[in-house]
Amino acid sequence: MYKASEERYSNVPVRHAGKTGLMLPPISLGLWRNYGSIDPFSDRRKVILHAFDKGVFHFDNANHYGDGDFGSSEKLLGQILNDELKSYRDELVISTKAGYEIHDGPYGIGTSRKSLLQGIDDSLKRLQLDYVDIYYAHRYDDKTPIEETVRALDDIVKSGKALYVGVSNYEAPQLKEAIALFKQLGTPFVLDQMSMNILNNHVETSGLRDVIKDGGIGAIAYGPLSEGLLSDRYLNGIPDSFKIHHTNQYLFKNGKDALVKKLNDLNDIAQNRDQTLSQMSLAWMLRDPVVTSVIIGTTSIQHLDDNLKTLDNLEFSNDEIEEINKLLK
Protein backbone atom coordinates (compact mmCIF):
# COMPACT_ATOMS: atom_id res chain seq x y z
CA MET A 1 0.00 0.00 0.00
CA TYR A 2 1.35 3.41 -0.97
CA LYS A 3 2.30 5.79 1.84
CA ALA A 4 3.27 9.33 0.86
CA SER A 5 6.61 10.78 1.89
CA GLU A 6 6.43 12.75 5.11
CA GLU A 7 8.82 15.27 3.54
CA ARG A 8 6.58 16.07 0.57
CA TYR A 9 5.93 19.67 1.60
CA SER A 10 9.38 20.47 2.96
CA ASN A 11 10.99 22.00 -0.13
CA VAL A 12 8.17 23.12 -2.43
CA PRO A 13 6.53 26.50 -1.79
CA VAL A 14 2.97 27.26 -2.83
CA ARG A 15 1.68 30.12 -4.96
CA HIS A 16 -1.74 31.72 -4.90
CA ALA A 17 -3.82 32.05 -8.06
CA GLY A 18 -4.02 35.83 -8.18
CA LYS A 19 -5.97 37.22 -5.25
CA THR A 20 -7.86 33.98 -4.67
CA GLY A 21 -7.42 31.35 -1.99
CA LEU A 22 -6.46 28.62 -4.46
CA MET A 23 -2.87 27.50 -3.90
CA LEU A 24 -0.79 25.41 -6.29
CA PRO A 25 2.76 24.10 -6.37
CA PRO A 26 4.92 26.17 -8.72
CA ILE A 27 5.41 23.08 -10.90
CA SER A 28 2.41 20.88 -11.70
CA LEU A 29 2.19 17.60 -13.60
CA GLY A 30 0.09 17.48 -16.75
CA LEU A 31 -1.23 14.27 -18.27
CA TRP A 32 -1.82 15.54 -21.81
CA ARG A 33 0.36 13.08 -23.71
CA ASN A 34 1.57 9.54 -22.99
CA TYR A 35 -0.88 8.95 -20.13
CA GLY A 36 -3.52 6.99 -22.01
CA SER A 37 -4.77 3.47 -22.52
CA ILE A 38 -1.80 2.39 -24.66
CA ASP A 39 0.78 3.45 -22.08
CA PRO A 40 2.30 1.23 -19.36
CA PHE A 41 0.12 1.81 -16.31
CA SER A 42 2.71 0.75 -13.74
CA ASP A 43 5.32 3.18 -15.07
CA ARG A 44 2.85 6.08 -15.14
CA ARG A 45 1.69 5.24 -11.63
CA LYS A 46 5.29 5.48 -10.39
CA VAL A 47 5.73 8.94 -11.91
CA ILE A 48 2.48 10.29 -10.45
CA LEU A 49 3.16 8.93 -6.97
CA HIS A 50 6.76 10.14 -7.08
CA ALA A 51 5.53 13.60 -8.06
CA PHE A 52 3.25 13.69 -5.02
CA ASP A 53 6.11 12.53 -2.80
CA LYS A 54 8.06 15.54 -4.09
CA GLY A 55 5.31 18.04 -3.28
CA VAL A 56 3.58 18.15 -6.65
CA PHE A 57 -0.03 17.98 -5.49
CA HIS A 58 -1.67 19.37 -8.64
CA PHE A 59 -2.46 17.04 -11.55
CA ASP A 60 -3.90 18.56 -14.72
CA ASN A 61 -6.11 16.58 -17.08
CA ALA A 62 -8.87 17.00 -19.69
CA ASN A 63 -11.62 14.82 -21.08
CA HIS A 64 -9.88 15.07 -24.48
CA TYR A 65 -6.56 13.64 -23.28
CA GLY A 66 -5.49 10.10 -24.01
CA ASP A 67 -3.54 10.14 -27.29
CA GLY A 68 -6.65 9.62 -29.41
CA ASP A 69 -8.48 7.40 -26.93
CA PHE A 70 -10.45 10.27 -25.45
CA GLY A 71 -10.96 10.05 -21.71
CA SER A 72 -8.35 7.37 -21.14
CA SER A 73 -5.98 9.77 -19.38
CA GLU A 74 -8.73 10.58 -16.88
CA LYS A 75 -9.35 6.85 -16.41
CA LEU A 76 -5.66 6.23 -15.72
CA LEU A 77 -5.50 9.01 -13.16
CA GLY A 78 -8.82 7.90 -11.68
CA GLN A 79 -7.52 4.41 -11.02
CA ILE A 80 -4.48 5.81 -9.20
CA LEU A 81 -6.61 8.26 -7.23
CA ASN A 82 -8.91 5.43 -6.16
CA ASP A 83 -6.28 2.78 -5.46
CA GLU A 84 -3.40 4.81 -4.03
CA LEU A 85 -4.31 8.42 -3.31
CA LYS A 86 -7.83 8.23 -1.89
CA SER A 87 -6.69 8.96 1.66
CA TYR A 88 -4.84 12.06 0.39
CA ARG A 89 -7.76 13.50 -1.57
CA ASP A 90 -8.02 16.59 0.62
CA GLU A 91 -4.41 17.47 -0.20
CA LEU A 92 -4.75 17.12 -3.97
CA VAL A 93 -5.77 19.63 -6.61
CA ILE A 94 -7.26 17.78 -9.57
CA SER A 95 -8.22 19.74 -12.66
CA THR A 96 -9.91 18.73 -15.87
CA LYS A 97 -11.46 20.44 -18.87
CA ALA A 98 -14.08 20.20 -21.60
CA GLY A 99 -14.30 21.92 -24.94
CA TYR A 100 -12.37 19.92 -27.51
CA GLU A 101 -13.79 16.89 -29.30
CA ILE A 102 -14.73 14.01 -27.02
CA HIS A 103 -17.43 12.11 -28.93
CA ASP A 104 -19.46 12.26 -32.13
CA GLY A 105 -22.24 14.75 -32.66
CA PRO A 106 -22.64 18.48 -32.05
CA TYR A 107 -22.40 18.15 -28.25
CA GLY A 108 -19.14 16.24 -28.37
CA ILE A 109 -17.27 19.51 -28.84
CA GLY A 110 -17.58 23.07 -27.59
CA THR A 111 -18.62 24.72 -24.34
CA SER A 112 -22.39 24.86 -24.59
CA ARG A 113 -24.36 24.26 -21.40
CA LYS A 114 -25.20 20.73 -22.46
CA SER A 115 -21.59 19.92 -23.36
CA LEU A 116 -20.18 21.23 -20.09
CA LEU A 117 -22.79 19.72 -17.78
CA GLN A 118 -22.63 16.28 -19.30
CA GLY A 119 -18.86 16.68 -19.61
CA ILE A 120 -18.31 17.16 -15.88
CA ASP A 121 -20.46 14.12 -15.05
CA ASP A 122 -18.53 11.93 -17.48
CA SER A 123 -15.17 13.20 -16.22
CA LEU A 124 -16.09 12.53 -12.60
CA LYS A 125 -16.99 8.94 -13.49
CA ARG A 126 -13.66 8.40 -15.22
CA LEU A 127 -11.72 10.09 -12.42
CA GLN A 128 -13.72 8.18 -9.76
CA LEU A 129 -14.26 11.45 -7.86
CA ASP A 130 -17.21 13.31 -6.35
CA TYR A 131 -15.76 16.65 -7.43
CA VAL A 132 -12.77 18.21 -9.16
CA ASP A 133 -10.91 21.16 -7.74
CA ILE A 134 -10.73 23.11 -11.01
CA TYR A 135 -12.97 22.72 -14.04
CA TYR A 136 -12.00 24.57 -17.21
CA ALA A 137 -13.66 25.60 -20.41
CA HIS A 138 -10.82 24.20 -22.53
CA ARG A 139 -11.14 26.70 -25.36
CA TYR A 140 -13.08 29.73 -26.50
CA ASP A 141 -16.15 28.50 -28.38
CA ASP A 142 -17.29 31.11 -30.90
CA LYS A 143 -20.49 29.12 -31.52
CA THR A 144 -21.66 29.52 -27.91
CA PRO A 145 -22.28 32.84 -26.13
CA ILE A 146 -19.78 33.48 -23.36
CA GLU A 147 -22.73 34.10 -21.04
CA GLU A 148 -23.92 30.53 -21.54
CA THR A 149 -20.49 29.05 -20.87
CA VAL A 150 -20.00 31.20 -17.76
CA ARG A 151 -23.45 30.34 -16.38
CA ALA A 152 -22.86 26.62 -16.93
CA LEU A 153 -19.52 26.76 -15.10
CA ASP A 154 -21.14 28.69 -12.27
CA ASP A 155 -23.88 26.08 -11.99
CA ILE A 156 -21.28 23.31 -11.90
CA VAL A 157 -19.69 24.97 -8.88
CA LYS A 158 -23.08 25.45 -7.22
CA SER A 159 -23.84 21.76 -7.78
CA GLY A 160 -20.70 20.82 -5.82
CA LYS A 161 -19.03 19.13 -8.77
CA ALA A 162 -16.15 21.66 -8.92
CA LEU A 163 -14.64 23.96 -6.31
CA TYR A 164 -13.18 26.48 -8.74
CA VAL A 165 -13.39 27.17 -12.46
CA GLY A 166 -11.04 28.45 -15.11
CA VAL A 167 -10.74 28.99 -18.83
CA SER A 168 -8.06 28.02 -21.31
CA ASN A 169 -7.06 29.48 -24.65
CA TYR A 170 -9.11 32.65 -24.19
CA GLU A 171 -7.69 35.81 -25.73
CA ALA A 172 -7.85 39.18 -23.96
CA PRO A 173 -11.30 40.39 -25.17
CA GLN A 174 -13.03 37.09 -24.36
CA LEU A 175 -11.26 36.78 -21.01
CA LYS A 176 -12.18 40.31 -20.02
CA GLU A 177 -15.84 39.63 -20.79
CA ALA A 178 -15.77 36.32 -18.93
CA ILE A 179 -14.21 37.90 -15.83
CA ALA A 180 -16.93 40.55 -15.68
CA LEU A 181 -19.65 37.90 -15.95
CA PHE A 182 -18.06 35.66 -13.32
CA LYS A 183 -17.81 38.61 -10.95
CA GLN A 184 -21.52 39.34 -11.39
CA LEU A 185 -22.35 35.76 -10.45
CA GLY A 186 -19.77 35.52 -7.66
CA THR A 187 -18.20 32.46 -9.28
CA PRO A 188 -14.83 31.32 -7.88
CA PHE A 189 -13.02 31.90 -11.17
CA VAL A 190 -9.29 31.48 -10.60
CA LEU A 191 -7.13 30.68 -13.64
CA ASP A 192 -6.49 31.23 -17.32
CA GLN A 193 -4.46 28.35 -18.77
CA MET A 194 -2.37 29.43 -21.76
CA SER A 195 0.56 28.31 -23.90
CA MET A 196 3.55 30.10 -22.35
CA ASN A 197 7.31 29.65 -22.41
CA ILE A 198 10.49 31.71 -22.46
CA LEU A 199 10.28 31.98 -26.27
CA ASN A 200 6.54 32.59 -26.39
CA ASN A 201 5.53 35.90 -24.80
CA HIS A 202 2.10 36.11 -26.42
CA VAL A 203 0.36 36.42 -23.05
CA GLU A 204 2.32 39.58 -22.33
CA THR A 205 2.31 41.20 -25.79
CA SER A 206 -1.40 40.51 -26.39
CA GLY A 207 -2.46 42.29 -23.21
CA LEU A 208 -3.64 39.05 -21.62
CA ARG A 209 -1.25 39.39 -18.69
CA ASP A 210 -2.76 42.76 -17.77
CA VAL A 211 -6.30 41.37 -18.00
CA ILE A 212 -5.31 38.42 -15.80
CA LYS A 213 -3.61 40.61 -13.20
CA ASP A 214 -6.38 43.22 -13.13
CA GLY A 215 -8.97 40.45 -12.83
CA GLY A 216 -7.33 39.11 -9.68
CA ILE A 217 -6.79 35.64 -11.16
CA GLY A 218 -3.66 33.70 -12.06
CA ALA A 219 -2.05 32.46 -15.24
CA ILE A 220 -1.06 28.82 -15.50
CA ALA A 221 1.30 27.81 -18.29
CA TYR A 222 1.00 24.75 -20.47
CA GLY A 223 3.88 23.83 -22.77
CA PRO A 224 6.47 25.73 -20.67
CA LEU A 225 9.25 23.72 -22.34
CA SER A 226 7.68 23.87 -25.81
CA GLU A 227 7.37 20.10 -26.31
CA GLY A 228 10.96 19.59 -25.17
CA LEU A 229 12.41 22.21 -27.49
CA LEU A 230 13.73 24.02 -24.41
CA SER A 231 15.99 21.17 -23.37
CA ASP A 232 19.49 20.07 -24.34
CA ARG A 233 18.06 17.63 -26.91
CA TYR A 234 18.02 20.10 -29.79
CA LEU A 235 21.15 22.15 -29.21
CA ASN A 236 22.81 20.43 -32.18
CA GLY A 237 19.82 20.73 -34.49
CA ILE A 238 16.08 20.23 -34.80
CA PRO A 239 15.02 17.22 -36.89
CA ASP A 240 12.31 17.48 -39.52
CA SER A 241 10.24 15.01 -37.49
CA PHE A 242 9.93 17.46 -34.57
CA LYS A 243 6.31 18.49 -34.04
CA ILE A 244 5.72 21.90 -32.55
CA HIS A 245 2.44 22.95 -30.93
CA HIS A 246 0.51 25.33 -33.16
CA THR A 247 0.82 28.12 -30.57
CA ASN A 248 4.62 28.00 -30.99
CA GLN A 249 4.79 27.50 -34.75
CA TYR A 250 5.95 31.07 -35.32
CA LEU A 251 9.23 30.28 -33.51
CA PHE A 252 10.44 28.80 -36.81
CA LYS A 253 9.78 31.95 -38.81
CA ASN A 254 13.51 32.64 -39.27
CA GLY A 255 14.39 29.01 -39.86
CA LYS A 256 15.61 26.18 -37.66
CA ASP A 257 19.25 27.27 -37.66
CA ALA A 258 18.37 30.66 -36.18
CA LEU A 259 16.26 28.99 -33.50
CA VAL A 260 19.03 26.52 -32.64
CA LYS A 261 21.46 29.42 -32.22
CA LYS A 262 19.01 31.13 -29.87
CA LEU A 263 18.64 27.92 -27.86
CA ASN A 264 22.41 27.64 -27.52
CA ASP A 265 22.75 31.29 -26.47
CA LEU A 266 20.10 30.73 -23.80
CA ASN A 267 21.84 27.54 -22.75
CA ASP A 268 25.08 29.45 -22.20
CA ILE A 269 23.28 31.76 -19.78
CA ALA A 270 21.69 28.78 -18.03
CA GLN A 271 25.08 27.10 -17.56
CA ASN A 272 26.46 30.26 -15.99
CA ARG A 273 23.54 30.01 -13.52
CA ASP A 274 24.39 26.33 -12.84
CA GLN A 275 21.09 25.35 -14.43
CA THR A 276 20.02 23.39 -17.45
CA LEU A 277 18.18 25.17 -20.24
CA SER A 278 14.95 23.54 -19.05
CA GLN A 279 15.46 24.67 -15.46
CA MET A 280 16.22 28.25 -16.47
CA SER A 281 13.24 28.30 -18.83
CA LEU A 282 10.89 27.25 -16.04
CA ALA A 283 12.48 29.71 -13.62
CA TRP A 284 11.99 32.50 -16.17
CA MET A 285 8.27 31.79 -16.22
CA LEU A 286 8.00 31.63 -12.44
CA ARG A 287 9.75 34.97 -11.92
CA ASP A 288 6.44 36.57 -12.88
CA PRO A 289 4.08 36.58 -9.87
CA VAL A 290 1.09 36.48 -12.23
CA VAL A 291 2.13 32.92 -13.16
CA THR A 292 0.70 30.62 -10.52
CA SER A 293 2.19 27.39 -11.84
CA VAL A 294 3.79 25.79 -14.89
CA ILE A 295 2.49 22.44 -16.10
CA ILE A 296 5.21 20.04 -17.19
CA GLY A 297 4.59 16.81 -19.05
CA THR A 298 6.99 13.96 -18.42
CA THR A 299 6.97 10.18 -18.09
CA SER A 300 10.43 10.09 -16.50
CA ILE A 301 11.12 10.32 -12.77
CA GLN A 302 14.60 11.63 -13.57
CA HIS A 303 13.23 14.40 -15.79
CA LEU A 304 10.66 15.26 -13.14
CA ASP A 305 13.35 15.56 -10.46
CA ASP A 306 15.56 17.62 -12.79
CA ASN A 307 12.70 20.03 -13.45
CA LEU A 308 11.93 20.34 -9.74
CA LYS A 309 15.54 21.47 -9.16
CA THR A 310 14.42 24.66 -10.91
CA LEU A 311 13.05 25.77 -7.55
CA ASP A 312 16.57 25.93 -6.12
CA ASN A 313 17.23 29.11 -8.12
CA LEU A 314 14.35 31.34 -9.19
CA GLU A 315 16.23 34.63 -8.94
CA PHE A 316 17.65 36.49 -11.95
CA SER A 317 20.18 39.29 -11.80
CA ASN A 318 19.51 42.49 -13.70
CA ASP A 319 22.31 41.59 -16.11
CA GLU A 320 20.77 38.17 -16.78
CA ILE A 321 17.36 39.69 -17.38
CA GLU A 322 18.82 42.22 -19.80
CA GLU A 323 20.83 39.56 -21.65
CA ILE A 324 17.87 37.20 -21.98
CA ASN A 325 15.53 39.94 -23.13
CA LYS A 326 18.00 40.89 -25.87
CA LEU A 327 18.07 37.30 -27.10
CA LEU A 328 14.29 37.09 -27.11
CA LYS A 329 13.75 40.12 -29.34
Residues 13 and 111: their CA atoms lie apart, in Å, by 34
The whole-number pLDDT of residue 251 equals 86
Closest CA to 99 of 112, 90, 87: 112
pLDDT tens column, 218-275:
999 999 999 999 999 999 999 888 888 888 888 888 889 999 999 999 999 999 999 9
56, part of any domain = yes
In a domain, 260, yes or no: yes
> Which of 238, 324, 250, 246 minimizes the C-alpha distance to 280?
324
Does 19 map to a domain?
Answer: yes
E strands present in 1-76? 15-16, 23-24, 27-30, 58-60
Q: Please report whether residue 8 resides in a domain.
A: no
Residue 9 domain flag? no
pLDDT in the model for residue 11: 83
Is there a domain that residue 10 lies in? no
List the domain range (segments joined by +) for residue 155: 15-328
Question: What CATH number is given to the structural domain containing 72?
Answer: 3.20.20.100
Q: What is the pLDDT of residue 250?
A: 81
Give the mean pLDDT of the chain: 97
pTM over 0.95: yes
The arithmetic mean of pLDDT across residues 37-42, rounded, is 97
Mean pLDDT in residue range 153-180: 98
Beta strands in 196-305 (DSSP E): 218-222, 291-296
Task: Give CA angle at 125 (119, 126), nearest 5°.
Answer: 90
pLDDT in tens, 90-110: 999 999 999 999 999 999 999
Per the structure, how many domains does the chain have? 1
pLDDT tens per residue across span 298-322:
999 999 999 999 999 999 999 999 9
The DSSP secondary structure of 83-115, one letter per residue, reads: HTSGGGGGG-EEEEEE-S--SSSGGGSS--HHH
pLDDT in tens, 27-36: 999 999 999 9
Would residue 31 count as lying in a domain?
Answer: yes
Strand (E) or helix (H) holding 259: helix 256-272
